[in-house]
Chains A and B, each alone.
Chain A
Amino acid sequence: MKSILKTIRENIFTAWGLWLALLGMILFSALVGGLLVFWKGLVITNLTDLVPWGLWITLDLSAIALSAGAFSLCVGVYLFGLKRYAPIARTATFVGLIGYTMAMLALVLDIGRPDRFWKALVYWNTHSLMWEVTMCVILYLTVLVLETMPILASLEWLRKKYPRITEKMEKVHHYAPVLAIIGLGLSSLHQSSLGAMYGVIKARPIWYKPEMAVVFMFSAIVGGIALTLLASMFSARLTPKAKVNDILIERVAQFLGYMMIGYLYFRFWDWLAQTYTYEPGRTEAFEILTRGTLSFNFWFGEMILGALLPTVILLYRPLRSAPFWRMLAMVMIVGGVVAMRFDTNLVGLLTVISYLPGQTTVTYASYTPSLVEWVTGIGIIAYGLLAFSLGVKYLRVVDHRLTSETHQTVRVTADETVRA
């Protein structure tokens, strides 16, 4: 006990110590908030029967979307053979695992009966998009755990204590291409079915359109890659433990710029298609976005800062090659994806279409997250930051000196052990 206290006293005033202390405090208050939610029930949130999904769903959708770097980069590396990007894929996989566990935490808070979580696995309604989402979350989380095995095996302490286990864990790297294929299937199903989950709801015209799945998928790919690059670059600035290869990152960033053009293209047609349908409820909801309560989020969060500016930065070489501007662009893209998820969820719920006959006007609901929603939500983000920081420090998740050759050597030894 004394030695622990001593270690704390010695380390608390280092930047690392303060960072951990800050995250610890946030996590503690979130834990209190979470227990409060389980104890008192969802009545302490500001969710209502008209707006039953709020901040937590946004967090859940964003965490999943920003995990998409894992599958997109793994596909690039293992299926398209872009081997030199393997170190970035490694970071992306770890970010993906964190994102998915964050989403699980948000879901446990959000569902009314967390004690019955397992029922989603036992009772199937294959008609339900939510069923598909559930299956994809569980299966893809399994894939991510397998994909992260070789990363977790690099934990020094584990290596020394259980060398046989870490050897086995490293061997999983053999299956990286297979896992990339399964991951591609599950993840693209998952990302798009989250959009389709909204897209099939006929009662809410702003959602009811086939392109929801595509827009969710597309934005997830750009957001996921952006977060991976941002996390890599940012940690490399903060700690010598993280080593990045700037040439690799810049190439991916340029690719991201072109992807953003695709995203903007989709959103443009999404807009026009909505503008001229004049379907009751859709026009009103669209107006909430363009000049109503969500207009700031929409114009600045999603469009100007979230899509337009970063596209320009990433495609204009002088800006892209400056790390500051490149990181700023990544921050904007990540923020834009979060804003897009928040707006999409809320705009459909705020526009209430009356079931009363002959009632042409729609009514508007309102929603502001409660304190407990904020505290627990920020706590989940703090958990993600903590997990990533520990990963950078102890698992070398951002280390671009690691090449596939490193794994190659490991693999050969693993093979020999098996034969012997």
Chain B
Amino acid sequence: MNDQNISRRDFIKLTAVGLAVAAGTRAITKADASEDAKGERQWAMVIDQSNCTGCGYCTLACQARNDVNPDIEWNKVTSTGMLDGRMTYLPRPCMHCEHAPCVEVCPVGASYYRDDGIVMMDYDKCIGCRYCQIACPYEARSFNWEAFEGENPAVPEWGAPEVERRPRGVPEKCSFCYQRIDRGLALGLAPGVDDEATPSCCVVCPTGARVLGDLNDPNSNVSQLLKKYPSYRLRENLGTGCRVYYLPAGVVPVRKVETES
């Protein structure tokens, strides 16, 4: 009988200690911002497939500005078949989902939402478990199987690196060039309008087939395009709520490309 009392008391004690430890740890790592907190601006990208020529400049500019390993493409361009005698393409950056599977599954919260909707990676927190890669429906993440050392072949022709290289052992992905957006806003520029504040893929695109803008602003370029043309998002049935919209090939008039002189 005595025996039983000891166990019960100790069981309660153990439980209390366990709860205290859990609460303590939670307090230390209290999440800085609620996921539901939405910022004033909500960045989104519109990719116009009618005008995309598949030149791949976006990929190269991205690799230079973000110092990406030449084996990795944050922005992958795939050809998607002929339409009216023209080849169509689908460039695929990170979709920056509203309900991002990668953010939900990351055990340490290394993938997280920014207030402006950008899905970010904290490369210092990541333990390299690759669960996010498995959860991403868009193959947007690439793992650093080995360290990227040596020169970046895309530099300097396509621009100078603006962010730190990722170490070996973490997955990486497109960040909507958050560094350009943040710096641009600090300088009083408008992302999506001023080149300095706009993702490098949009700036470099020779046909202007990619634009970034604020979904919350009805007058922004993306809001206007989405109002004017039909659009779709990738694997919409999954309910991820992508922030990258595509205007299907054939809906936007094809612009004449000004060749460089």
Contacts and interface: CB of A to CB of B under 8 A. Distances in A.
A187 to B, nearest CB: 16
Interface in A114-166: 116-117, 119-125, 127-131, 133-134
B231 to A, nearest CB: 12
A250 to B, nearest CB: 32
B136 interface: yes
A116 B126 contact: yes
Nearest to A118: B127
B146 A43 contact: yes
Contact of A113 (B90, B139, B169): B169
Interface in B10-40: 10-11, 14, 25-26, 28-29
A49 B109 contact: no
A181 B146 CA distance: 44
A348 B10 CA distance: 45
Interface in A167-194: 174-175, 177-178, 181-182
Interface stretch (B98-106, B154-162, B186-194): B98-106
Contact of A203 (B29, B101, B127, B143): B101
Nearest to B81: A358
A227 B165 CA distance: 47
Nearest to A353: B137
A119 B146 contact: no
Given A52-B143, A355-B234, A111 B168 contact: no
B90 A356 contact: yes
A112 B11 CA distance: 38
A113 B126 contact: yes
A152 B154 CA distance: 60
A201 B135 contact: yes
A178 B3 CA distance: 12
Max chain A Cβ within 10 angstroms of own Cβ: one of B14, B107, B138: B107
B107 A200 contact: no
A125 B107 contact: yes
Interface residues of B, number: 55
A3 to B, nearest CB: 45
A355 B91 CA distance: 11
A123 B108 contact: yes
Contact of B134 (A53, A120, A122, A127): A53
Given A41-B168, A43-B145, A120-B107, A202 B131 contact: no
A128 B169 contact: no
B96 to A, nearest CB: 14
B28 to A, nearest CB: 7
Given A119-B127, A203-B135, A355-B92, A41 B107 contact: no
A43 B125 CA distance: 21
Nearest to A182: B14
B92 A124 contact: no
B114 interface: no
B42 interface: no
Contact of A49 (B3, B28, B139): B139
B169 A41 contact: yes
Given A41-B169, A130-B129, A355-B138, A47 B145 contact: yes
A128 B145 contact: no
Contact of B10 (A43, A52, A175): A175
22 contacts: A41-B147, A41-B169, A50-B139, A110-B129, A111-B128, A113-B126, A113-B170, A116-B127, A119-B127, A122-B25, A122-B29, A123-B108, A124-B25, A124-B109, A128-B104, A130-B129, A201-B135, A203-B134, A203-B137, A353-B137, A355-B234, A357-B90
Please give me the 3 A-B residue pairs with the lowest Cβ-Cβ distance, nearest first: A112-B128, A112-B169, A203-B137
Interface of A: 40-43, 47, 49-50, 52-53, 110-113, 116-117, 119-125, 127-131, 133-134, 174-175, 177-178, 181-182, 197, 200-204, 348-349, 352-353, 355-357
